Amino acid sequence: MNVWIILGVLGAIVLLFIKGIPLQFVRWTGKLFIRVTIGVLCLFFLNIFGAQLGLHIPINAFTALVAGFLGLPGLASLTAIHVFIF
């Protein structure tokens, strides 16, 4: 079983060397990483400034994606969910 996994990984590596890495995938991954990073930073600063008001939104993959992709409306929705539900 392990031999098939190793052969599959080596075959994928050889295919990438021959054909090249698809640029569309690299661009999409880069944009995703940048947006999630911005979302984490926004949540971090919201938690720092919101601590004075007793507001804390956990930083995890879901909240980082919401804050990163939706921007300020995403932060507002996360804050509203936290205030009204918790």
Q: Give the separation between CA 70 and CA 18, rounded to whole angstroms.
A: 38
Q: What is the model's pLDDT at position 47?
A: 95
Write out pLDDT tens, residues 26-61: 899 899 999 999 999 999 999 999 999 999 999 999
Does the pLDDT at position 1 exceed 70? no
Whole-number average pLDDT of the chain: 90
Q: What is the model's pLDDT at position 19?
A: 81
